[in-house]
Chains A and B, each alone.
Chain A
Amino acid sequence: MKVTRRTTAAAVVALTAITALTACSSSDDAASSGSSESAAAPASDQTLTIWLDEQRAPAVEPIAEQFQADTGITVKSVVKDFSTVDQDFISQVPTGKGPDIIVSPHDKLGAYVQNGVVSPIELGDTADQLADVAVQAVTYDGDVYGLPYSIENVALLRNTALVPDVATDFDDVIAKGQAAVEADAKVKYPFLLGLDPKQGDPYHMYPLQTSFGSSVFAQNEDGSYDATRLTLGDEAGQKFAAAVKTWGEEGVLNANITGDIALEAFEKGESPYYLTGPWNVPAIKDAGIDYAIDPLPSAGGEPAQPFLGVNAFFISSKSENKVAATKFLTDYLATDAAQKALFDVGGRPPALTTAYDEVAAADADVKAFGDIGLDGVPMPAIPEMAAVWADWGGAELQLIKGEGDPAEVWTKAADNVESKIK
């Protein structure tokens, strides 16, 4: 009896399964016939997936719509968290599930190439229409990998109500800043630079460092960086280290002032100077501060060059839509309209020369930042750069806090980096 019952139960299970399957398979047929049709007319259901940040998304969307109208290819924008997007890209592309296109700052390019996740593209004549530094930034081992759309770098913002004249060099900045502090009780800081009390900020400090003739890696003749020649700990670097300690002791640099504190203080008119990038300008404008954008002041006598960041579109090496992706980049994004749309949402000077000229003519701020950037050097994109930041920032932080002997702290940081790269 019990056997019969159980067998019956099993039989009913099987029957239900078959019924359900039949129901499924009829819909499955529909699906598969759909896919065979699509082989004949592929354009209708093809999708380019693009990873970008939330700021860029609204600018890319109208361009994507135009692209779809012209080619029938849907462009799907996926907004990703930009602090980890490079790592997601590197781990997902090899599985074949990654995006076709990624928007990324150029300094990740070395890691992308090292992991074989990006494909070179031939910009053709477009290359000539782009700023040289921008193309240089997306070039790695002699191959061009991306379509640059904007450049970004820091400059010195000056509150013109507090200091009316351009300073000649960094000492002059400090002198003018201190005079402003003494003259007005509301002014608290002679000079502002956003740091992090945990890790320093070598990026923002870099122009001061280059003005001592110090750099991180030596550059080859073509402007590419040589990972085997770390120049961080050289004599010029040690001179800079000594200056950092002095600035820390004088209170010019304060490790407790984070990016947001610095911005808020400048917005309230508590400092005449603020070393920052174009991303903070809209907020400062909204706060009603009268500002000027000054060239970066030299502290050590040599030109103060900031790190130049270039934002670009890269194509995945495993993309199955390379033709479409390349078309989208070279025909739709390397246009004045597209680059200006991206400028409108991001506020960074466009990489396309004609678009830049147009924007710069209309907006003095863009021109001020852009002129500094176009003379700059791209941030190193070599993967070894990732090993540098922690020790570099740690050493600067230690010096700002007035700890240790500058030369010792500095060379030790350089030695640490060296031992990691080797």
Chain B
Amino acid sequence: MSAPALSPRRTPSATPTAPQKRPFSLRRWFRDTGWRHLVALVLVVFAVFPLLYVLSASLNPGGSLVGSNSLFTTIDFSNYVDLFGNPSQPYGQWFVNTLVIGLTTAVLTVFMGAMAAYAFSRMRFTGRRMGLLSLMLVQMFPQFLAFVSIFLLLSSIGDVFPAIGLGTRLGMIMVYLGGALGVNTYLMYGYFSTVPVSIDEAAKIDGAGHARIFFTMILRLVAPILAVVGLLSFIATTGEYVIASVVLTDPSTQTLAVGLYQYVSQAFSNNWAIFSAGAVLAAVPVMVVFLLLQKYIVGGLTAGSVK
């Protein structure tokens, strides 16, 4: 794209103050970044210690979740082995399902949300203001009764199209896509509005249509927010349990959240250790997705605005 020579508004403050060679001083280091490490470390401890507790439980066969306060006394991977050994609980399959449902939902959510945000940010139309507000308000409805209506809805859809009815991954994805707008649109809308309209203008003068501007220019410029929304959507989908347990009636299509909850809900069986192992593994995809997206979340904007 022939880049309009506009001043990149979102250049990180780093660029102008290029690192200069100065002798190392502990004090300056601390004032500059050192205290940041300290703060970050404290918060890392806060974030991680309950999870270490779970990790410890997952490595202790037959261990309980409550009351085992000596961490990592036993390290044994038998819980992880057991996890994949039970054919009635296809953990590997759940893992795949979670990835498929989570990633598909995230990608489509980003796509549909970005389209809506583009419309709200670049076009003027009647009901625009109301539209944005209603998107937010609809999602404020307390959802805990939703399972009845979602069940009815999907079972009727399944009568017509069995492939997207109750118990199917596609059906589940569609239900999640119902929440694609709303807060996500708002989040993206705010970011879209920071992209200078003059970029669109210039492209339009070059003869580009709205679709071309959107797909080839805008989407690249707003990559960071797309990554954030994608990640939020992925996390929300992988952790969602209530609706998934209604929709995914077949063990072979269930997600980790639904499958794992069965370990806990067996009130009298003590599956805590295996459950912890499952939960630890369940957190891995989210971390991987975050790592993959991190470069866009942070670095993407520099690349985007320079081009």
Contact = CB atoms under 8 A, between A and B. Distances in A.
Direct contact of A and B (CB under 8 A): yes
Interface of A: 53-55, 57-58, 61, 77-84, 88, 91-92, 95, 97, 258, 260-261, 263-264, 267, 277, 279-280, 283, 286-287
A82 B270 contact: no
A88 B245 CA distance: 10
B269 A264 contact: no
B148 interface: yes
A78 B266 contact: no
17 contacts: A53-B262, A54-B262, A57-B88, A58-B87, A78-B249, A78-B250, A81-B258, A82-B265, A82-B266, A82-B267, A84-B265, A91-B148, A97-B166, A260-B65, A260-B272, A264-B64, A283-B270
A258 B268 CA distance: 12
B139 to A, nearest CB: 24
Contacts of B268: 277, 279-280
A74 B88 CA distance: 17
Contacts of B267: 82-83
With most chain A CB atoms within 10 A of its CB, the pick from B155, B166, B268 is: B268
Nearest to B242: A84
B262 A81 contact: yes
Given A55-B269, A78-B250, A260 B66 contact: yes
Nearest to A85: B265
A279 B66 contact: no
Interface residues of B, number: 32
B65 to A, nearest CB: 6
B256 to A, nearest CB: 13
Chain B binding surface, main DSSP class:
loop
Interface string B77-89: 0000000001111
Contact of A260 (B155, B166, B265, B270): B270
B304 interface: no
A58 B66 contact: no
A264 B88 contact: no
Nearest to B151: A92
Nearest to B155: A97
A57 B89 CA distance: 10
B276 to A, nearest CB: 12
Contacts of A279: 268-269
Nearest to B258: A81
A367 B126 CA distance: 76
Contacts of B86: 54
B64 A263 contact: yes
Interface in B137-193: 147-148, 151-152, 155, 166
Given A54-B266, A260-B66, 10 more contacts: A54-B262, A55-B269, A78-B250, A82-B262, A92-B151, A95-B151, A97-B155, A261-B67, A264-B67, A280-B268
Contact of A261 (B64, B262, B266): B64
Contact of A79 (B166, B262, B270): B262
Nearest to B264: A83
Closest 5 CB pairs of A and B: A260-B64, A279-B268, A83-B265, A261-B67, A57-B88
